[in-house]
Structure 1
Amino acid sequence: MAIDFTLSSEQNALRKTAREFAQGILKPIAIKADAEPDPQKAFAMMKPAYMEAHKLGLTFGFIPKEYGGAGISNVDLQIVAEEICAVDPGFGCILLVNGLALLPLVWFGTEEQKKKWLIEATSDQSGEYIAGFNVSESAGTANFDHPSAYPSGLQMTAEHDKGRGEYVLNGSKYWPSSSGGWDLMGANVNMFVVRTDRHKGGKEGLSAILVPRGTPGMRFKAPIDKVGHRTNQNNWIECDNCRVPEENVFAVGDGDLIISKAFTWSGPVAGIAAVGVARSAYEWTMEWAKTYTAAGDKPIINHQVVGYMLGDIATRIEASRYLCWKAAHYLDMYQAEGQAFGAMAKVFSCELLFDTVYKCMQVAGVNSLNKEYPLERYLREAAVLPIYDAGTIGMQRRKIWGVMADPDFDTNAFRDCEPVKFMKSMEGR
């Protein structure tokens, strides 16, 4: 049978490992960190869980085996991410950002850069190594590929000082994750997408650059205090004549493609994170409905309206899960090229999440507002997922539209798992 949703024995073992980690190690730490009012302290509280995840190969498992990673597939990543995000999607985002920061090297870097930076990450014995992905700016990121030259689009610049063999970074980044590191002195490495040519628009003027921890001229302000994803650090970074060796630059003129592909890879992961949160809300609400009587003579699950609502919730969760699996499978087939389809998984699942959690709250009634119960936390996380990771009404939907508007777009390509080549002409609509 060509279509089979049965997990292999290896995938079942992977899910068991991820679930035991999430429930036994991550959960008690995440609950305390979520309640911590200081966002930097909350992030730092996650370090012990991160180090345990490192022992299990979860922090850099997506890196190819030849560079020290496990080389796990996107489908396998779905299995791990759902279990982790069912407990804490903020921690899941910490792991996700390692991929956003380092996988662009796999796709666009030189062999020398891959060996240097990827092996540095995978060979770390401390379990503390963390990477930051820096695209977002205070002016917004949705128009990163704006056709006009500076100052439209991304505004952080990196000027090439050829005489010294360096690039000089100036400007700021706002909202990037993990960039400040565990001590707010910097992640081990930060990958920035910057403007290396002020005279060209986003489709031509952007590049990627790697900035190691301790580089002079890079300053981190206090992390952003957020409603949800409180265990994940979001930063405000300022670079003032921050000098970086020119060998740290890659994808010169193609930084826009890095952004598009990175957020394509993360699309199904963000989608399955939404599935994980929805699943947890559903499981808790189902247990509530089977035990809570609302002063009646039987549990409320016996009322038709409750049964119908929970049935709809379960149906949508299953639909979201399999869309994410299909998108991940497609990305595995085509080296993470599937910009429209990765975005579809993200948009559908994350927007469905908020409605799912709120319907669970309706079943539980006013008790769902009580912080003694988890639904208020799930609601806060549900508010985050549709608008982070390239958003839904911004970059992700623009990718779908851009691909579909191409004259040669095949409307059945996703159904038939046929390749769709992503081109610069599909950006900036």
Structure 2
Amino acid sequence: MATFASGGRCISRPFAQALLNTLRQQTRPTSRRFLLTASCADPANGLGEEQRQIQKMALDFAAKELAPNMQEWDEKEIFPVETMRKAAQLGFGAVYCDEKFGGTGLSRLDASVIFEALATGCCSTTAYISIHNMCAWMVDHFGNDELRSQWVPRLASMDTFSSYCLTEPGAGSDAASLSTTARKDGSHYVINGSKAFISGGGESDLYVVMCRTGQAGPAGVSCILVEKGTPGLSFAKKEKKLGWNSHPARIVNFDDCRVPVTNLVGEEGQGFSIAMKGLNGGRINVASSSLGAAYAALEQARDYMKIRKQFGKSLENFQYLQFRLAEMATQLVASRLIVRNAAVALDSQDPNAVALCSMAKLFATEECFKICNSAMQIFGGYGYLKDYPVQQYMRDCRVHCILEGTNEIMRMLVSRDLLTER
């Protein structure tokens, strides 16, 4: 399989190299966690050596810090602050932000590898970390140096947690119709409106808010940062969700919420562009989280087939289940390839990146959900019990077909690209 690293080296920046050196010094020989390692479904296939090192770091963290806790976090709806800050110490808080202000300086492909690995331990927590990374990138990429120096170091360390605020009760897929307003009043913006389904709402410290500062439509939208504790900022009750329970979702309300005009990210009227560009990467991130859930589910189904017996023999001897496992592995590898292809396109600023990110999100989230569902079916009645993590992977990755742009919108974006005359 071809190497995805550009020029043979995917990581060359000083911070990333320091991470690799630390890993090499601290790593001790251990038994392999994944029995599928070196198989046709191995997520290391196609990666350069340094990417494999970063991947191993993330897999080890997932095995030691995330997987042992994912069930408790899900059942008790715990927001695992300290564990996420440990992840940030490895450079996972601002993966593709510039090192100038504290980011890790890695590529979108590297980020995809990291999020897939982390999601094998807890898909829900990884999804929040990926959203946080998207917010950090928006500030780093579009903010002025003052905003970047103020926020990126705190976001990179996860001393500050962030939330992305685009969707509204009346504006979901039609995001350009958002009605939250920001009226300039001297040296402040006065924000009024509500945002819905906000991951981290009430727990996050910084809210990246898309609001209307001008005319109707996308040209009138701006991006403004709102800190927790700002007068006029409030939160509704925590939503009761099917999955993604390790981080809360709430409606975020703005009632004459005054923030300094210096909190504007980019320029007035640039907000919708910022939101959409952020979502290109966000779609790769959430698809990568689906890959991790599917990989873990596939591994667990394989192991279960070896120990579960019916009709006097283990399940691994039933040809139908052998074929099902082969189909699941094929779905996984195809999904991984399309996601990594989109990540490379985004890194290289390919003119087709929007459509390729949409394709990747569409295909990978749907196929990976099917893999998790098939894995649960292999477990039979046991798969339906919360004692077994396979059902949690299925629940946590289901929402990936809905958020960061529904998969119906992904179909629209891909078809629009195909039908455009060039």
TM-score, shorter chain, exceeding 0.5: yes
Question: Normalised by the size of structure 1, how large is the TM-score?
Answer: 0.84
Residues 309-362 of structure 1 show CA distances to partners (whole Å, capped at 9, x for unaligned) of 111111110110111111111111118982111111111010112222222233
Cα distance change, pair 119–364 in 1 and its aligned pair in 2 (3 A):
closer
Q: Deviations over 1:190-242 (max 9, x none)?
A: 11000112xx2322111100112321110112221111011122121111100
Aligned to 1:251: 267
Deviates more, 1:382-391 or 1:78-87: 382-391
* Conservation of the 8 A alpha-carbon contact between 2:123 and 2:397: no
Q: CA deviation at 1:64?
A: 0.6
CA offsets per residue over residues 54-105 of structure 1, 9 Å max, x none? 2212112221111111111111111111111112111112211222222223
Equivalent residues of 2:136, 2:155 under 8 A apart: no
Does 2:284 match 1:264?
A: no
1:169 to 158, 181, 191: 191
* 1:274 has 2:290 as partner: yes
Tell me the secondary structure at the aligned position of residue 116 of structure 1.
helix
Following superposition of structure 1 onto structure 2, how do residues 238-387 of structure 1 map, counting pairs within 5 Å? 238-249=253-264, 250-294=266-310, 296-334=311-349, 338-387=353-402
Q: Which runs of 5+ in 2 are unaligned?
A: 5-44
Query: What is the TM-score with the length of structure 2 in the denominator?
Result: 0.85
- Post-superposition offset of 1:400: 2.4
| Deviations 1:33-53 (CA, angstroms, capped at 9, x unpaired) | 1011xx4xx22xx11211211
**Alpha-carbon displacement from aligned partner over 1:359-390 (angstroms, at most 9, x marks no partner):** 22332222221222222212212322211222
In 1, the alpha carbon distance for the partners of 2:420 and 2:147 equals 34
Task: Label 1:3 to 1:79 Cα distance change in 2 as closer, same or farther (>3 A).
Answer: closer
Matched, 1:158 2:179: no
The alignment partner of 1:28 has SS state of coil
Paired position in structure 2 for 1:18: 58
Which of 119, 125, 131 does residue 162 from structure 2 map onto?
131
Q: AA paired with 1:360? A: A
The letter for the 2-side match of 1:355 is K
CA distance in 1, matches of 2:2, 2:113: 20
2:68 counterpart letter in structure 1: P
CA distance in 2, matches of 1:336, 1:180: 38
Which residue, out of 52, 57, 70, partners 1:30?
70
Deviations 1:252-272 (A, max 9, x none): 212221221111111121112
- SS of the residue 1:402 aligns to: helix
> By percentage of residues, which structure has more helix?
2
Q: Percent identity?
A: 26
Quick check: 1:291–1:299 contact (8 Å CA) kept in 2? yes
Q: Contact 2:163/2:201 (CA < 8 Å) preserved in 1?
A: yes
Which residue number corresponds to residue 418 of structure 2? 404
Is the CA contact (8 Å cut-off) linking 2:355 and 2:414 kept in structure 1? yes
Match of 1:116 in 2: 150
2-structure distance, mates of 1:54, 1:3: 27
Higher mean displacement: 349-358 or 238-247:
349-358
Contact between 2:355 and 2:417, CA under 8 Å: does it hold in 1? yes
Alignment root-mean-square deviation, CA: 2.0
Q: What is the aligned partner in structure 1 of residue 48 from structure 2?
A: 8
Q: CA–CA distance in 1 between the matches of 2:246 and 2:402? A: 17
Structure 1 residue identity aligned to 2:414: I
Q: Is the 8 A contact 1:89 1:277 kept in 2?
A: yes
Q: Which residue of 1 aligns with 2:140?
A: 106
Contact residue 47 and residue 128 of structure 1 kept, 8 A: no
Q: How does 1:15-94 map to 2 (within 5 A)?
A: 15-36=55-76, 39=77, 42-43=78-79, 46-94=80-128
The answer to whether 1:389 aligns with 2:413 is no
Contact 1:18 1:80 in 2 (8 A): yes
- The secondary structure found in structure 1 opposite 2:210 is strand
Confirm whether residue 95 of structure 1 aligns to residue 129 of structure 2.
yes
Aligned partner of 1:142 in structure 2 is 173
In 2, Cα distance between equivalents of 1:23 and 1:52 = 13
SS of alignment partner, residue 69 of structure 2: helix
Q: Which one-letter code corresponds to 2:191 in the other structure?
A: L
> Counterpart amino acid of 2:309?
T
